[in-house]
Amino acid sequence: MKKHNFSAGPCILPQSVLQQAANAVTNFNGLDLSLIEISHRSKDFVAVMEKARSLVLELLDLENKGYKVLFLQGGASLEFLMTPYNLLKIGGKADYLDTGTWSTKAIKEVQTLGTVNVVASSKDKNYTYIPKNYTIDETADYFHCTSNNTIRGTQMKSFPKTNIPLVCDMSSDIFSRELDFSQFDLIYAGAQKNMGPAGTTLVVVKESILGKTGRTIPSMLNYQIHIDKDSMFNTPSVFAVYVSMLTLQWLKDLGGIKAIEKINNAKAELLYNEIDNNPLFEGSAVKEDRSNMNVTFLLKDESKKEKFDKICQEAGINGLNGHRSVGGYRASIYNALPLESVQVLVDLMKQL
């Protein structure tokens, strides 16, 4: 049976990438050695790391613009702490936009190092919308936002203009839509949402914003040290970086972000149209702020849940349940999910 993987993360990856990765585990580059047993400092893996970093800058149109690319560990959750360590001055303050669980966790980490100002929050309506018309303190050390909220299914459609460093957690929609990425000074993203397997975290940072905090930064948390060591200050997550590199190459071959955005828009439109027109379902996020990556919706008649879950299971639908803290359903339609899978889900919704 063909599976239709709507998992929120770790998520679906291109089949061609999985096949190449599987081959590399047994025989990488014709070495008769596994990718995961060779030295991370061998020329074969160093080439992988260099290509992965190069593809990131190329796809984001950030080449020759002062940005450095890192592949680190600890997930986006560690970046919640690394960001203030590297950008928050001693006695300084930072502005944060609170749009959901992950931004809330990020705010908690900043509070261990300095003052945080929450410029706006959508907590009052269970994070079902993105706040608008807030004011950023131009004397703050940086402004932090989360571009896409996997749990509640909301997404920022635009970003504020500010003269202070703009930091964005793009874990669940990186490489999914065209943006002016040069407006951001620091972007980070866990690989397992749209880029690769769990185990590595992408960081794209404008090097000129570093080294201004006046604080002593622990080595493992210091972006500059990782930059100077080409993401190999310690042993990197070799397999996760390799699969991320393959996925980035797959995206480039497809036509880049412009091409995948067109596909993503078609998937989202198809599914949201069914949610809005089917009397048995309703969306859980405000329409203007709906995510094109994580489509959250509810079944109005709970007596039909058992039947719907059964027909989904029989059709090979995987990972459709909403986050445990929210319930309902969540269809994560990341880059590698084909339009065909969304059509299967829509047909089942019509069938119910």
169 is catalytic: yes
193 is catalytic: yes
C-alpha separations of 292 from 166, 196, 260 in Å: 22, 19, 12
Contact 323, 151 (CB under 8 A): yes
CATH number given to 15-254: 3.40.640.10
CATH number given to 4-12+255-351: 3.90.1150.10
262 is catalytic: no
Q: Are strands 186-190 and 143-146 parallel, antiparallel or unpaired?
A: unpaired
pLDDT in tens, 121-173: 999 999 999 999 999 999 999 999 999 999 999 999 999 999 999 999 999 99
pLDDT in tens, 249-272: 999 999 999 999 999 999 999 999
Find the catalytic residue in 98, 141, 185, 193: 193
The per-residue pLDDT for 325 is 82
Cα–Cα distance, 120 to 116 (Å, whole number): 12
Q: How many helices (H) and strands (E) does the chain have?
A: 9, 14
Place of tokens 């990856």: 13
Find the catalytic residue in 68, 98, 102, 250: 102
The per-residue pLDDT for 210 is 98
Find the catalytic residue in 169, 173, 185, 289: 169
What does pTM read for this prediction?
0.97
**Domain regions of the chain by residue span:** 4-12+255-351, 15-254
pLDDT in tens, 312-323: 999 999 999 998
Tell me the backbone φ, ψ of residue 154, rounded to 5 degrees: -120, 160
How much is the average pLDDT of 333-352? 97
Mean pLDDT for the chain overall: 97
